[in-house]
Structure 1
Amino acid sequence: MSLFASRYLAEPADPHALAVDPPPRPASAPGVLFINLGTPDEPTPTAIRRYLAEFLSDPRVIEIPQPVWQVILRLFVLPRRPHALAPRYKDIWWEEGSPLLVASRQQAEGVQQELARRGITVHAELGMRYGNPSIASAMQALRDAGCERILVVPLYPQYAASTTATAVDKVHEYTRRRRNQPEMRFIKRFPADRGYIDALVHSIQAHWQQHGKAERLLLSFHGIPRVTVEQGDPYHRDCMETVRAIRQALGEDGARVHHAFQSRFGAQEWLQPYTEPTLREWARSGVRSVDAMCPGFLADCLETLEEIQVECRDAFIEEGGETLRYIPCLNGDPQWVRALADIVQQNLWHSP
């Protein structure tokens, strides 16, 4: 059989057909699939357009009837939005590449190394829900490594249908075409996990030790439409669990903690209070200094490095505020990597 023919049979054109899997291999160590949202391959309009076309075509992200939404997306959003976003992505791009991709890889590789130090062998791979590396390519790499058991770890502490659920959907899209499916486990949420909260609080306290304490600490989460919560999405509940846990861990300084929701898209009502209007209101009322953190993002990205650190800071100062300092995401912080390794270890199988 030619190489072309074998590839064609392995991934048939019919999306409902089963793939031809290779002969079973001896079982190896468990696989761990880390999943984050995704990022453009580069900060250019072409790459951003390709990324947005996939991201905004997900019906779990945009809950508008697809025939209507695709007209809006193709005629109005994609021709304009990528050009507006390109300079913003370029400004936050790290030397090693997209911050979200670089930091997510640090976490995945760090967990594998940390578990190895504990005498636990796993094969770790990173997949992005949108863009590269894809979930399918990461799953295939784990299967090629002989992983018969795979733990899926969406890098979202708070569960939402538009983040965790769609990542799980994509994993099932891959496995439903396999004749020889792996055994699967999924981590759904960890909004008040002790290690996660301790890493956040350590980051806050280290920032305060270096810069002093601002009058208020704003925890800004990504927003979702309010109607989705009314229909049963537990995201708001999870965010409030994180807020309560941080307040409690900070002790007396917990009184400084407030929360808000950012990144509103479209005309419908989203979870409130909204981040930028809250900051503007605080400045007008006499608040002069704010520290801001985004605990729902485990890796820095456009929404943290540009929207909070630049746009929201400028809005706060414009209304009379003096200082808005952004506390970075956990990224590859060693304490967080150890805490994430704990979460993974707790959910692994006890035997190979």
Structure 2
Amino acid sequence: MTTVVVTGTGGNGYTVGDVLSATAASIGGTGSGFTWTVSSVSTARGSFTDSVGTHFQIVAEPMVNVRQFGAVLNYTQAGGDGAATNDQPAIQSALNFAGYTFGSPDAGGYSGSTVLVPQGAAKVCGGLMVPTGVILSGVSNIGTSLKQCDSDSSATNFIVLGDPLNRQTSFFLGIWNMTLFGANSGSGGGATMVFTNSAQAPEGLKNVSVYPVYRTCVNSNTGYGGPSIFRITGSYFIPNSSVTPGCISLAHASNNVIDGGTWFSSGGPPWAGPAISITSNGASVNRLVDVHIENIATGVLVNVPAGGSGTMTTLNGVVGNATVTNLINRQTGSASGQLRVDFSAANGATCTVFNSGSCAATANVFGATY
């Protein structure tokens, strides 16, 4: 082997002259592995060298700011995509920089940081990946906006939590305090605004507004890391009643939590929904607490395969309104005896609990298992 090119997270933490090593197993071979010397670093964003050869390194304290890496945040609704700078390279570089790992946290090392996107709106083309241990944060729910490029492929997820190819457990990462606005094109590709198949994130989404437009809102799926926790708290989801294919899909065999006054309301005429689809099959506990749903025909759809291995769902404080048809729908064929509903209110909805093909409750539900 004569040449090694490091891609993805780049040469994060390395400079010209560093000697690196890799085991043979990491490239699918046998023997003693190999070493190589870094000869060049292209498009460095976390450091620079001046005209006399002095090397300068960004020191991000107390957090990484995307402006340090070249983000300009100049998207405006009036100017649209054409008048704005693509801030994806700068924001992704900041995320990579923040994701630097020094030893194992289990052995006294450390990993991750917070990446701040300051007040403003940024155009992002091609999606972002948040590494393990990194929080991507704005200044407030409506103070920072990330706008997906309209030119993105219909198969392009906007933000991915954890490496989607590795699919191993990605700890303590998340998206906080911002608005995510989807591309105004690209139907039918199956993409989502936030995707993960590896997150173990006690606060995966916190104080976030999502306008998915042609994409779904969140897809939490199963990777190789086994059961975990994925939590959405204090957030707001606004599907487009004409074109949004779905909102939140919880298919991860884990402890899925949606709470903290999370709110769903479609823009325009009532949307078919569902706002939340629970299809996880495994040793899972799904908990929805203090969730409000309006202008959406089906609020929560539970479709857990019968004979599954212990998936349980509990809904507490789920509230609809007069624009909702079925606030909670346990689909025909879904496992029975594994859905618990407490202190949930129709608030004008046609049916509070639609159970296996018929309406089982039209009033407030104070405690029942279906």
User: Shared topology, TM-score over 0.5?
Assistant: no
More strand by share: 2
TM-score (structure 2 length as normaliser): 0.21
Largest Rg, 1 or 2 = 2
Q: Which has the higher contact order (CA 8 A, sep 6+)?
A: 1
